[in-house]
Structure 1
Amino acid sequence: MRGVKIVEIRNSQSAQMHTLEAIMAATIMVVIILFAVQATSLTPLTSSTANAHIESQMYMMGQDMLTALDYAPHGQSSALKDAIINWNGEPYVWNGTNYQSDYNKNNSLNGPIVDMLELVVVKNGIAHNVEFTYSTVSEFDGYSEYQQKLDNYYIYNGDPSDNAVIISRKVLLSDSDVKTTTKIPDIDDTTALYNIVDVKLTLWRM
């Protein structure tokens, strides 16, 4: 019986030692993981939590801006659609006072889009570009047609930084929407569809 008790004690001590070793190993692994995470967060090439939060805020702000500009009461066109239809193809640049045409310095941009940009992004020191992407129809060999996409700056304020955010919104144009001469072409004169314009808003911190 005494021998049995000695064996039980030794087995118990061995089990306790294995348990202790497992706890120590787990503790060491946790310490290593914590050290690795802290070292990674200090690496200059890693985006900080603060930058990610700012980018997220800018993205949501850009979404809200395009949503508000694309809203229209029943039977009316939105400010965004009107800006697209009335666009003459010129890129505009913020000169510190207004959006001035890059082709003709006497032309300046105005309207709800300008008011929104000045109120939300210009006053907060946020650089921005606005692009219009739309389809064109070209004739090939006189009988077959094909479409190609064109990217044109509506507002250009320089090349975006690596932390820029891009928000896009598609605007459908029908024949009934276009009542004046516009830079946007009609891609299908056999239907009521005029064109689809992808509005891309790029925001970044200066």
Structure 2
Amino acid sequence: MTLRTIHELKNDTFAQMHTLEALMAALIMVGIIVFTVQATSLTPLTSSTANAHIEAQLQAMGQDMLNVLSYSPYGDDSDLKKDIINWDGKEYVWDGNQYESIDSQNKTLDNSSFVDILSFIAIPRGIAHNVDLAWVNDNGISSSKAYIYNGDPSNNAVIVSKKLVLSNTDVGDASAFFATTGIADADDSTDFYNIVNVRLTLWRM
């Protein structure tokens, strides 16, 4: 075997190794692409980056509103608690100018801190909103009722919530409060009345 033949064999071996390395690299790249496509749901309903950013903004905005309403100065009830205690049990909708009862066009939601903050923040920005109150009855069954309702939320809606503890001292006449709001006394043997979960739903129109 001559030196030339040995040199040619070495070149052939290196060439085969480079070809094999290139083939393996190509297979790895194809595998990564296939895995990525299968792991990502590419549907028309997939939220875009812009939608995700808007949802994050709405989430922060809603949580900030509930935090402001639930703040209570020393020795005083929070605005959120006052709104629930003074609620007449009716459902209200935004008619373009004010929050109007669905039962009577002459009945509006007045003296409500919820109305003030939604009118100042959400409505000027074209943000639709629902406010629901949820609680558990003394028999352990969960109940809910609409406080403000403005339609069915979109797929990009966000929900924020804040729990509110009510006592018999807060509601006063427990029987009258239950008859008005439907929120039952969860434990009539103590001063504890119930825990109300205030849920605020926000979405872009």
Check whether TM > 0.5.
yes
Partner of 2:56: 56
1:148-194 deviation per Cα after TM superposition (whole angstroms, max 9, x unaligned): 22211100111112221111111111222223643233221211211
Structure with the largest fraction of strand: 1
Structure with the largest fraction of helix: 2
Partner of 1:172: 165
Which amino acid counterpart does residue 78 of structure 2 have in structure 1? S
Partner of 1:141: none
Provide the identity percentage: 43
Residues in 2 aligned to 1:171 and 1:126: alpha-carbon distance in whole angstroms: 24
Residues in 2 aligned to 1:187 and 1:14: alpha-carbon distance in whole angstroms: 79
Unaligned runs of 5+ in 1: 138-145
Unaligned runs of 5+ in 2: none
Which amino acid counterpart does residue 117 of structure 1 have in structure 2? L
CA shift at 1:25, angstroms?
Answer: 4.0
Structure-to-structure mapping, 1:25-44, within 5 angstroms: 25-26=27-28, 36=37, 43-44=43-44
1:38-62 deviation per Cα after TM superposition (whole angstroms, max 9, x unaligned): x975x42322221121112111111
Partner of 2:14: 12
Structure-to-structure mapping, 1:136-147, within 5 angstroms: 136-137=137-138, 146-147=139-140
Q: Structure 2 vs 1, CA of residues 40 and 149 (structure 1 numbering), >3 Å: closer, same or farther?
A: closer
The answer to whether 1:103 aligns with 2:103 is yes
- Please, what TM-score do these two structures have when normalized by structure 2? 0.83
Residues in 2 aligned to 1:117 and 1:40: alpha-carbon distance in whole angstroms: 35
Number of matched pairs = 195
Task: Please say which of residues 71-80 and 98-107 is displaced more in the overlay.
Answer: 98-107
Structure-to-structure mapping, 1:108-187, within 5 angstroms: 108-110=108-110, 111-137=112-138, 146-179=139-172, 181-182=176-177, 183=181, 184-187=183-186
- Please, what TM-score do these two structures have when normalized by structure 1? 0.82
Which amino acid counterpart does residue 135 of structure 1 have in structure 2? V
- Calculate the aligned-residue CA RMSD, in Å: 2.6
